[in-house]
Structure 1
Amino acid sequence: MPKPEAVTGTVLVCGDGSMGQLGCGDDVDEKKVPGPIPTLKDIDFCSMESAYLQTALLVRNKEGESEVITWGCNDDTAAHILGRDGPENVPLHVEGLSKKNIVQIAVGQYHMAALDNKGRLYFWGNYKVDEFIGPTIHEEPTESIMYPKLHRDVFDYKVAAVASGGNHTCFITENGNLYEFGWTRRDENLPQKILRKNLLPKRVEPPKGHYTKAVKMAAGHVHTMGLFEDEYSGERVVASWGSNLHGQLGLGHTNTVEEPTIIPNLPKNIAKMTCGDFHSMVLTEDHKVYAWGRNSYGQCGVSQPADAKNKDILVPTEVIFPNLGTDYIIDIEGGGNHGLATTFEGKAYAWGFGTENQLGLNSDDDIVPVPTLLKSNAMQRFKVSHAFAGSSHSLFFAPKVNTPAP
C-alpha cells in the first residue's frame, strides 16, 4: 500500500474548545470564526478525521515518515481516546504509531483506528455505551486500551480502508469485502433502545444483484453507508443499513434495516459519502450534493416550506448552494448536527446547528437551515480545500500553494 500524498498547508479550526477540541492550548476555549491552530501551520498534511470531541491528523515528518497527531477530550468519559499522554488541548504525536507506516486514520466516539501500509489495523480507546445497555446484554464494556494496539481479530485480513462511526468500525479488505464490528444497530421499537453488539468482525453481505465489491464506506452514530460496484458492468450504487429513526438511510421510511439496501433515486456517480450523527450526505462527480435524515437543526441544508420546517428528510434531496456562480463544490463533511462544504475556489459553506460556533459564521443564530458562505477575514485570506467536523467544532485545511501571504 503506497504512502499517502502530502500537501503543505495549515489547519484552521472554529467552535467550542472547553474539552480541548480546538487544539489551541489553555487560553482558547472558543473560536467564533476559523483560525489557524498555532502548531499546525505549514505542516505536511496527509489526511485528517474528526468526530464528536476529538481529532486525529496524519502528517509526514521531515524524514518522510508518517506520524499521527491527536487532540481533544481525553478524560475517563472519553475512554482515553487520544492514544497518548500529555495535555489534551494541544496537538501531540501518538508515539505508539511512530515508524508504523500509517496510511489512514479513523475516529469514533470512544475509539480511534489507524491502518498501516501492510493492511493491519491498530485500535485504542473503548466501545463505551453504558447508557444503552439493556436487559439482553450481559457483558460490560471492555476496559480502555490507552495506547495503539494491533487488533488480533483483524490480523488475518488485508485491510484497504477503515471508517469509524459512533461506537462501531467498518473496514474494506483488498478484495472488496466489507466488515463491521462494535455497536452496529439500535432497535427503536424497544423502550430500552438496545444496541446490538458484534464483538468480532462480521462480513456485511452486499446488496442484492451483482454489486459484490465494496469501494467506499461512511459511518454515522449507528448507521452505515457503502458504495458497491457491479462485478460485470462496473456500475456503482450506494446502499445503507442500521438505525433509521430519522430516515438517515434515505429509504423513504424510518424502520431499522438489517442488510445493505440500495438507496433509490440517487445518482450513480458518487465521489464522496459522509454521515453526521443521524443525517447523511453524498457528493457526486459532477459536484452536486444530496442530503437526508434528521433535520431538526437544519443539518441537511435543505430549504423547506414553513409547514415542514426542520422535519426529517426521508429521501435524498439536493442541497442548493447560493452564489456559487462558476465555482463548484469539491468536498463535504457531516458534523454531529451540522454540515460543511468547500469549493474549487477555496471557499467554505456551513449550515445546521451552530450554538457552539461550530459553523464559523460569528452569528447569534442557533440554527442556520441552508448553506451559508463563511466570510471572515481568515477565510478571505486562506483558500481551503477540505472540511472536517466533530460535534461542536469544525476544521478546514488550507494548502499553502493556494494561500496568499499574510
Structure 2
Amino acid sequence: MTSRSAVISWGSGEDGQLGIGNNEEKEWVCAIKSLHSSSVASLVAGSRNSLAISHDGKLFTWGWNQRGTLGHPPETKTESVPSQVKALSNVKIVQAAIGGWHCLAVDDQGRAYAWGGNEYGQCGEEPEQKEDTGSLVRRDIVIPKRCVPKLSVRQVAAGGTHSVILTREGHVWTWGQPWPPGDIKQISTPVRVQGLESVRLIAVGAFHNLALLDNGVLMSWGNNEYGQLGTGDTQPRSLPVPVQGLSDLNLVDIAAGGWHSAALTDEGEVFCWGRGEHGRLGFGDDKSSKMVAQKVQLLDREDIVQISCGGTHSVARTKDGRIFSFGRGDHGRLGYGRKVTTGHPYEVPIDIPPPTDLDSTEAEGRWCSKLVASGGRHTLAILEWRIDQI
C-alpha cells in the first residue's frame, strides 16, 4: 500500500477557519495547501478557528483571533493561513482542544497549556487587574501559559466557557464557567469531578461533558436542556450520571457537539442523543431531540471507526476511508456541494487532485480519510492516498 497525505476543509470560512488563504465558504472539499500534509498528525475544528498538530509536536493555528485564540499576538482579527504557535515550539504537543474562544494543549510530558478568552477563568488564570471601581477582571491570555501545573495530564477538552482535563491517573478535573453564564459561579482553580474513577476518554460539548470509563460505562454531566446527557430527561446534572441506552455495548469513541452527543461501538455502530434540530443526530426525517442514546440505523451498514460532533452537524468516518455528514447544511458545512439540511447521512465526495508523482499502479488508488474534525460551521480531515491490495 502506498500512502501520501492531504489535509482538507469545507464549510464556513468567514473567519479564515478553512485555512485556504481567504475568507470564502466552500460547499465542496478543498485542500489546505499551506500545511505540509505529510507531517500533520491531528486536527481540531473549533467554533470559529482550527488547529493542527504535526508528528513532531509542532502546533499550528488559524481562524478567529480577536481573543488571542491563535496563541500568538493578535495582530489581526482573523488569519486564514496556518501559522506555528511559537510559544510552544520548545515542547512536543501531542493533543489539543478548542473551546468557545479559548484553547488547551498538552505535551508529551503531561504538561497542559491554555490561552485565549479568560473572562470566566477558563484558562485557569486568576484575576490580574484591578479596575478603578475596585473589582477584579481577568485578562485574555494571548500567549499560551501553563495551567494545572500540579497535574500530569493525558487529555484536554474545552467547552464553551469551561475546561476539562483527564489525568494520567484516570481522574477528571474542571474549571471555568461550566454552564451558561449566570447559572454557576465561574472558578479559576481546577476542581476534581467527584464520582469518576479510571476514566479512559473525555469529550466536551458547549456546556456538557462525557467521560468513558475503563469498564465501558459512559458518564455525563452538565447542561441538559435537549437531553444531551442521555439521562431520559432534561434536568441538568452537577455530578456525573450514566448515559442510558448503551448497556452491554463496547464503546471505543465518544463525541460531544453544541447540544448533542454520540458514541461509537467496537462493531462500528453509532449512537446519538440530544438536540435533533436540523437532523444532526442522523435519524432521517425524525429531527426530534432524543433524551436517551439511540442507534443511528441509517449508518448501520457502514463500518464506522470515528464519529465527530460539530455545532449543528455531525461527521462519521468509515474503516475504508469514506466520510458521511448530516445535520445543518447552510454555509456548505456538509460538503455536498449544496446547502442542504438533512438527517440522512450522505457520503462527502472527496474531489481533489491526486498526488502528482504517482506511477501507473498507484494511479488506481483513491483518497481515504484518516481523521475527521467537526467545528461550529466547518469540518477538517486528513487524507491518505490508498491503493487497495487484492
Q: TM-score range by the shorter chain?
A: 0.7 to 0.9
The aligned amino acid for 2:207 is: V
Residue deviations 1:70-117, cap 9 Å, x none? 001112xxx110012466110010011102121111111111111112
CA distance in 2, matches of 1:253, 1:330: 29
- The code of the aligned residue for 1:158 comes to S
Partner of 2:358: none
Verify the 8 A CA contact 1:8 1:44 in the aligned structure 2. Answer: no
Asked if the contact 1:8/1:45 (under 8 Å) is kept, the reply is: no
1:206 counterpart = 2:184 = no
Structure-2 separation of matches of 1:66 and 1:215: 22
* 1:384 aligned counterpart, secondary structure: strand
Q: Partner of 2:144 in structure 1? A: 148
Whether 1:383 aligns to 2:378 is: no
Change (3 A) 1:122 1:364: closer
The unaligned stretches of length 5 or more in structure 2 are: 122-133, 355-365
Unaligned runs of 5+ in 1: 1-6, 131-137, 187-191, 230-234
Query: Given the alignment, which residue of 160, 170, 192 partners 2:164?
Result: 170
TM-score of the superposed pair, with normalisation by structure 1: 0.83
Deviation per residue, 1:12-65 (Å, 9 max, x gap): 000111111111113x511111111111253312212111011111003xxxx3
Alpha-carbon distance between aligned partners in 2 of 1:128 and 1:303, rounded to the nearest angstrom? 40
Distance 1:227 1:21, change over 3 A: same
Specify the code of the residue in structure 2 equivalent to 1:174. Answer: R
Secondary structure at 1:66 match in 2: coil
For 2:295, the equivalent position in structure 1 comes to: 318
- Are residue 398 (structure 1) and residue 383 (structure 2) matched? yes
Q: Distance in 1 between matches of 2:270 and 2:315?
A: 11
Which deviations, in whole Å up to 9, do the C-alpha atoms of 1:167-203 show, x marking residues without a partner? 11111111111111111124xxxxx853442221110
Q: Which of 33, 40, 48 is the matching residue for 2:35?
A: 40
Instruction: Kindly report which structure 2 residues correspond to 1:99-114, keeping only aligned pairs within 5 A, or say none.
Output: 99-114=90-105
The residue that corresponds to 1:299 in the other structure is: 280
Deviations 1:144-184 (A, max 9, x none): 11111112xx1111111111111111111111111111111
1:230-379 aligned at under 5 Å gives the runs: 235-267=215-247, 268-304=249-285, 309-321=286-298, 327-365=302-340, 367-375=341-349, 377-378=351-352
Q: Contact 1:331/1:385 (CA < 8 Å) preserved in 2?
A: no
Which structure has the higher relative contact order (CA within 8 Å, separation 6+)?
Answer: 2
User: Pairwise mapping of residues 75-114 of structure 1 onto structure 2 (< 5 A)?
Assistant: 75=66, 79-85=67-73, 88-114=79-105
Residue aligning to 2:173: 179
Q: Residues 379 and 246 (structure 1 numbering): CA distance in 2 closer, same or farther, change over 3 Å?
A: farther
Q: What is the RMSD computed on CA atoms of the aligned residues?
A: 2.3
Q: Distance in 1 between matches of 2:61 and 2:135?
A: 30
Is the Cα contact below 8 Å between 1:33 and 1:362 reproduced in 2?
Answer: yes
TM-score (norm 2): 0.86
CA contact (8 A) 2:20 2:33 kept: yes
Q: Would the alpha carbon gap of residues 104 and 8 (structure 1) be closer, same or farther in structure 2, given more than 3 Å must change?
A: farther
1:133 alignment partner in structure 2 = none
One-letter amino acid matched to 2:150: D
Identity %: 28
Q: Which residue of 1 aligns with 2:186?
A: 197
Distance 2:65 2:120 in 1: 16
Amino acid at match of 1:143: R
> 4+ runs of 1 displaced by more than 6 Å?
none
Distance 1:139 1:198, change over 3 A: farther
Of 394-403 and 81-90, deviating more is 394-403
The separation in 2 between residues aligned to 1:144 and 1:247, in whole angstroms, is: 32
Query: In the alignment, is the contact (CA less than 8 A) between 2:162 and 2:176 conserved in 1?
Result: yes
Q: What is the CA distance between 1:363 and its match in structure 2?
A: 1.7
C-alpha separation between the residues in 2 aligned to 1:175 and 1:9? 35
- CA offsets per residue over residues 354-405 of structure 1, 9 Å max, x none? 111010011232x2112111235339952112111111111111024569xx
